[in-house]
Amino acid sequence: MSNNHNQIDNVSLIPLGGVGEIGKNMMVVEVEDEILIVDAGIMFPEDDLLGIDLVIPDITYLKKNQERIKGIVLTHGHLDHIGALPYILKEINVPVYGTKLTLGLLRGKLKEHGVLSDSYLKHVYPGHSVEIGQNFNVEFIRVNHSIADACALAIHTPAGVLVYASDFKFDQTPTNGQMADIHRLAELGDEGVLALFSDSTNAERPGYTMSEKVVGESIDEIFSNARGRIIVASFASNIDRIQQFIDSAFENNRKIAVTGRSMINNVHIAKELGYLNIPDGMLVDMQDLSGLNDDKIVLITTGSQGEPMAALTRMARGDHRHINIQDGDTVVVSARAIPGNERSVGRTINKLLKRGAEVIYESVSGVHVSGHASQEELKLMMNLVQPKFFVPVHGEYRHLHRHANLAKEVGIPEENIFITEPGNVLEFSNSNGQTAGSVKAGRVLVDGLGVGDVGNIVLRDRRLLSQDGILIVVVTIDKKGKNVAGPDIISRGFVYVRESEALISAATSRVENALEECEENNVTEWSVLKSKIKNALGSFIYHKIKRRPMILPIIMEV
């Protein structure tokens, strides 16, 4: 590394996602002609993105600057930080660096997409560093989060040190015994940090986030009181939480089984890599559960978000292959509903209660704590690192705004705080910080195998179709423009046709009238015909029933 490039005093930062939005976290770091990428996550689509499976960052800028990219570093293994890699590595194949568990989870994803064999993955231990290109020395610093092996990064560049505190919290009593490395953060602060980028998810929450240990105590109490089967749902990536389930099961002399694809995969990966400690003989297959007494069973499952196809949701609906929920079962939902999922989680809880289970969930117990730092921890991070510039990341505008206010409270000058947007270029040097232009950025929608082939027009049509359905009017005309068959009106998602025959037949007359009028006036231009049909039908339907279905005239010529 060229530490003595005294002429290099500038570093540029371009977020391609994760600022002003929750998810698709991705940051581009540029020093001279070299590029380093931090994280490459997906975003789960909001309700208005009808039919979309997931959203990834637009990487047009990276494709254009492909030869300058030296590597991708990952902070932890959550999908909003690694999930876009299967798509991005198909376009830009560069080395990927991360901790062991992060890469283990990534490997699973890459395999699913058939890009694993082409990828170069290199693991780094927390507390260690890696040289990337001429200008980057990236140090992995352990932090606490709702997944093991999460790290903040200290990116040492000729222009100064950047601390990238991705998703984190400070847990003073972590269940895996591994504290965030506050000593190293303090040391960096003493030495001087050019800029801090820090997680804003919980910037609205006062105080401290509770320790994971609190969950352990609740779990212990629930497990020791339960008399029947215990079924626990959690995020499949929360390995420390799963370890707590296993420990509590062991204490209470119960076996464990695992259900749900991502839970099975992650438990397998974490066990292989030594992140889960499961005593011999304790893990049993689902089909062997029937041979055990109810008070010997702990089932660990997916479905904490009420996802329609997840195992717990199936149990609640009564269509899980192996498990029928019954009186005496204790179900623990050990997760928080992600915004937007409240209703599906609520429905699952309602159904489980109706089937006779006791259900323990966040609103009525201590079975979940957040993985993100609250206000006091956010301030602690700033006070440890003492950065010259501060950039709140990972949050909607209101979170970034609140986080910026916290920064002012601890004494960072307002002009050194930057609330930014995807694509904006931030330029930092020891003497100056500024926004310097922007590059193309945005969202790319993934729907099935299609990446980027669904855009605003398709979404607008889906929205229209979802509201009032569609009316299709087919007319066949001959070469002279004479109507020889139809008009036929076919509807979908509009009304029960059988109960609305009168409406449809009146509508058909309207179209016939419109067509006759066109014939009388010698209108033969198809586009005019279509718009006449559309207008006649649209205004009639709206007048009659106050709905605006999509109206699609089709003209066939024979």
Site residues (CB under 8 A) for a second copy? Answer: 20, 46-47, 50-51, 204, 339-340, 342-343, 346, 349-351, 353-354, 359, 363-364, 396-398, 401-402, 447-450, 453-455, 457-459, 461-470, 472, 474, 476, 478, 484-486, 488, 490, 492-496, 499-500, 544-547, 550, 552, 554, 556-558
Nearer to a second copy, 108 or 346 (CB): 346
Cis peptide before 487 (omega within 30 of 0): yes
Residue 361 CB, shortest distance to a second copy, in Å, is: 8
Place of tokens 């926004």: 435
What is the DSSP pairing of strand 470-477 with strand 550-557?
A: parallel
Nearer to a second copy, 16 or 454 (CB): 454
Spatial distance between the Cα atoms of 464 and 380, rounded to a whole number of angstroms: 49
Spatial distance between the Cα atoms of 211 and 174, rounded to a whole number of angstroms: 7
The sign of the CA dihedral 531, 532, 537, 542 is: positive
Nearer to a second copy, 34 or 204 (CB): 204
The active-site residue, picked from 123, 156, 320, 372, is: 372
Greatest alpha-carbon pair distance for the chain in Å reads 88
Q: Is 199 assigned a catalytic role?
A: yes
Binding-site residue numbers are 51, 53, 76, 78, 80-81, 145, 167, 236-238, 368-372, 394, 447
The per-residue b/e assignment along 430-467, b for 16 or more CB within 10 angstroms, e otherwise, is: eeebeeeeebebebbbbbeeeeeebeeebbeebeeeee
Nearer to a second copy, 67 or 414 (CB): 414
Question: E strands of 109-242, at which residues?
Answer: 121-123, 129-132, 136-142, 151-157, 160-165, 193-199, 230-233
Binding-site residue numbers for Ca(2+) are 51, 53, 447
Record the tokens describing residue 249, joined without a space: 């099961």
Residues whose CB falls within 8 Å of the CB of residue 146, separated by 6 or more in sequence, listed in order: 167, 235, 237, 238, 240, 241, 370, 371
Give me the half-sphere count of Cα atoms (radius 13 Å) on the Cβ side of residue 158.
19
Spatial distance between the Cα atoms of 27 and 81, rounded to a whole number of angstroms: 10
Nearer to a second copy, 33 or 557 (CB): 557
Spatial distance between the Cα atoms of 476 and 398, rounded to a whole number of angstroms: 56
Residue 483 CB, shortest distance to a second copy, in Å, is: 10
Residue 388 CB, shortest distance to a second copy, in Å, is: 25
Contact 325, 315 (CB under 8 A): yes
Nearer to a second copy, 466 or 505 (CB): 466
Q: Is 5 assigned a catalytic role?
A: no
Place of tokens 């064999």: 117
The active-site residue, picked from 58, 199, 240, 468, is: 199
Place of tokens 């609205």: 204
DSSP 355: T
Residue 226 CB, shortest distance to a second copy, in Å, is: 17
Residue 469 CB, shortest distance to a second copy, in Å, is: 6
Residue 364 CB, shortest distance to a second copy, in Å, is: 6
Contact 407, 392 (CB under 8 A): yes
Residue 465 CB, shortest distance to a second copy, in Å, is: 4
Residue 406 CB, shortest distance to a second copy, in Å, is: 12
Quick check: helix, strand or coil at residue 195? Answer: strand
Nearer to a second copy, 182 or 545 (CB): 545
Contact 254, 297 (CB under 8 A): yes
Nearer to a second copy, 127 or 452 (CB): 452
Contact 61, 440 (CB under 8 A): yes
Q: Catalytic residues, which ones?
A: 199, 372
